[in-house]
Structure 1
Amino acid sequence: MTEDLSRLPLDDLVRRVRACTICADVLPRGPRPVIQISESARILVVGQAPGRRVHETGLPFNDPSGDRLRQWMGVTRDTFYDEQKLAILPMGFCYPGTGKSGDLPPRPECAPAWRNLLLDRLPQIGLTLVIGQYAHAWHLAGTGKSVTENVRRWRDYWPGVVPLPHPSPRNNGWLRKNTWFEAELVPEVQSLVNKALNTDSLSASYE
């Protein structure tokens, strides 16, 4: 009989995730799933997959991308890494390696194995930040739009979901071409993040 992982306590499920070896044979540095989760979290950050530095430290977004993301959100490192407030579930939990133009895509085995099991354990999420093309493809399924178009049409998903570009320094060119993003959307994101962290009900503030 196949074990029903949905019945496991969250701590036990997280231990299973962190011991996962589904992709061990194809990961250049071996498996090291990096996630942050608590059932009390109010904000969910959905990235792509850990980079090399994140793999080495075991701390999500512990790199220049994370510095920029925290700036966009208007939060400190202490708040960002408080799992009681903020969950971080990338589309792939392990570092996939590097290709010619940067890190490789998240491993496709990861999300089907673990994603819904973990998302189901986040009943308090009022705001989901969806970062980059692979996160858009999962969480904004069916739009058929590019990252740029999704981000331009952020009001279509507002206020529960916010599509964002990747904060990597490799995206500096995109940010230079799309100055409206930091001028228009980032202040709105900071306002939503503040409400999610400091009010009992995010939705109540929009009623």
Structure 2
Amino acid sequence: MAPVWERVAACRLCAPRFAATATRHGPRPVVWFQPGARLLIASQAPGARAHESGIPFRDPSGERLREWMAVSEEEFYDKSRIAIVPMGFCFPGYDAAGSDIPPPAVCAQTWRNEAMGALPDIELTLVVGGTAQAWHLGRGAVTERVRNWRDHAPAVFALPHPSWRNTAWLKKNPWFAAEVLPALRARVREVLDA
């Protein structure tokens, strides 16, 4: 049997679902993990730019996430060090109003456990956004999970999504930059430099 990352890359399970969206796109799984990685970014789903490029977080959200982590673009995209495994491997599309559609649950139900099993060396997981947090940490509010980051550290950090849409959240919650980011950056360095 082919490795899980190759089978995910070939998945077309959601073709009818994506064809019915306002974007009418086909599946294009964005697969960015391999065994040996020590840091996992558990995210939501690729955006439209990642769908086009085949590279996760190749957008302003990725720039903000790399800034939060204090890593270079080269480090961020080194699959031997950092795995990026979203809850949905494909861009879910937009609805008729132009809003993001949540990642289809069937993707995580089909692939998540096997993908996680292919990453036995993970020492730090960054759980980015509400959908990923619900899967990894259970139900709860994003702000409270992020505020209570010490409950899961040093193995897990819950983070808000780095989207520009969350700029107001960041301004409303200055403790995130003051408390969480320094601890996150120190832990990222510890894991990547070991």
TM tier, smaller: over 0.9
1:101 CA displacement: 6.8
Q: What is the rounded CA distance, in whole Å, between the counterparts of 1:101 and 1:73 in structure 2?
A: 30
**Could you list the per-position Cα deviations for residues 97-141 of structure 1 after superposition, in whole angstroms to 9, with x for gaps in the alignment?**
123473211111100100100100111100000011100100002
Kindly state the Cα deviation for residue 35 of structure 1 after the two structures are TM-superposed: 2.0
Secondary structure of 1:92's aligned partner:
coil
Q: What SS does structure 2 have at the residue aligned with 1:109? A: helix
Name which of structure 1's ranges 149-158 and 92-101 shifts more when overlaid on structure 2. 92-101
Question: Which runs of at least 4 in structure 1 moved beyond 3 Å after TM superposition?
Answer: 99-102
Instruction: Give SS of 2:41's match.
Output: strand
Shift of 1:26: 1.2
- The one of 124, 128, 133 equivalent to 2:130 is 133
Aligned to 1:178: 173
User: Percent of pairs identical after alignment?
Assistant: 51
Residue in structure 1 matched with residue 90 of structure 2 by the alignment: 94
Q: How many angstroms apart in 2 are the aligned matches of 1:101 and 1:152?
A: 31
Is 1:17 matched up with 2:8? yes
Which runs of structure 2 are paired with 1:1-207 in the superposition (5 Å)?
A: 8=1, 12-27=3-18, 28-99=24-95, 100=97, 102-141=99-138, 144-199=139-194
Q: What are the ranges of 5 or more consecutive residues in structure 2 without an aligned counterpart?
A: 19-23
For 1:85 and 1:150, locate their aligned partners in 2 and report how far apart those are by CA, in whole Å. Answer: 26
Whether contact under 8 Å (2:60, 2:163) holds in the other structure is yes
What is the distance in 2 between the residues matched to 1:190 and 1:35?
25
Instruction: State the distance in 2 between where 1:66 and 1:25 align.
Output: 29
**SS, match of residue 31 in structure 2:** coil
One-letter amino acid of the structure 2 residue matched with residue 55 of structure 1:
H
State whether residues 8 and 29 of structure 2, in contact with CA within 8 Å, keep that contact through their aligned partners in structure 1: yes
Is the Cα contact below 8 Å between 2:5 and 2:34 reproduced in 1?
no
Measure, in 2, the Cα distance between the counterparts of 1:56 and 1:35: 13
Query: Which 5+ residue runs of structure 1 have no aligned equivalent?
Result: 1-7, 200-207
* d(CA) in 1 for partners of 2:186, 2:72: 15
Q: Which amino acid aligns with 1:13?
A: V
Deviation at 1:13, TM superposition (A): 2.2
